[in-house]
Amino acid sequence: MIAADTSTWISFLEGGYGEDVEALAVALDARQVVMPPAVLTELLSDPELSPLVAQALLELPLVGLKDGFWRRAGKLRAKALAHKRKARLGDALIAQSCIDADISLITRDGDFKAFSASLNLF
């Protein structure tokens, strides 16, 4: 199983190109994609998102949140911030959900490098 960040999903949905978009397409064809809840929230926040695309996104399996998730996500973000790295809240939530589920994250967003010591990036 593998997850994709919002930046990769947006590029994929807009018909973009890149290794990340190709990896997402392959994983979707193999039915290996799971959706981090924070990514789903970000994607569904687009007021111009087509209802058909929204429905397709909602049909992907969600990454479950484990007990203590919020505490671990806060600590993960605090660690990145302590090292003077950019660590947006949404990114920390996405990273922690992937860490907890032991799944890799496909992304084109360099900000996830702040979490790379714990997160397997594609």
pLDDT at 116 exceeding the cut of 90: no
| Of the listed ranges 4-13, 31-40, 112-121, the one predicted with least confidence | 112-121
The Cα diameter of the chain in Å comes to 42
How high is the pLDDT of residue 120? 86
Cα dist from 19 to 12, 47, 98, 115, whole Å: 11, 27, 20, 20
Residue 67 exposure: Cα atoms within 13 Å on the Cβ side = 0
> Where do the domains of the chain lie?
2-115
Predicted local distance difference test score (pLDDT) of residue 79? 95
How high is the mean pLDDT of the chain? 96
CATH fold of 2-115, please?
Answer: Rossmann fold (3.40.50)
> How much is the average pLDDT of 8-17?
97
90 band by pLDDT with thresholds 50, 70 and 90: very high
Rounded to an integer, what distance in angstroms lies between the CA atom of residue 59 and that of residue 56?
5
Q: Is the pLDDT of residue 117 over 90?
A: no
Q: What pLDDT score was predicted for residue 118?
A: 86
